[in-house]
Amino acid sequence: MADYRDIITGTISNLVGKAKEFAQSETVTQLVDKVKDTAENSSVREIYAQGAGRAKSYGRIAKMNLEINGENQELTRVFTEIGKLYYEQAKDAPEGFFASLFAQAEALSESIAAKEAEIEALKEELAPAEVVDADIEVEIGDFEDVVNATEEDGSADKDN
Q: Give the model's pLDDT for residue 47.
A: 81
R_g (Cα) of the chain, nearest Å:
44
Render pLDDT for 43-58 as a digit per residue (tens, 0 to 9). Answer: 777 887 888 888 999 9
Q: Give the model's pLDDT for residue 81.
A: 94
Q: Give the model's pLDDT for residue 155.
A: 63
pLDDT at 80 over 80: yes
Asked whether the beta carbons of 85 and 78 are under 8 A apart, the reply is no
DSSP 89-128: HHTTS--TTHHHHHHHHHHHHHHHHHHHHHHHHHHHHHHH
The C-alpha angle with vertex 116 and arms to 110 and 121, in degrees rounded to 5, equals 125
Render pLDDT for 17-39 as a digit per residue (tens, 0 to 9). Answer: 888 887 777 887 888 777 777 76
**Average pLDDT rounded to a whole number, residues 83-95:** 89
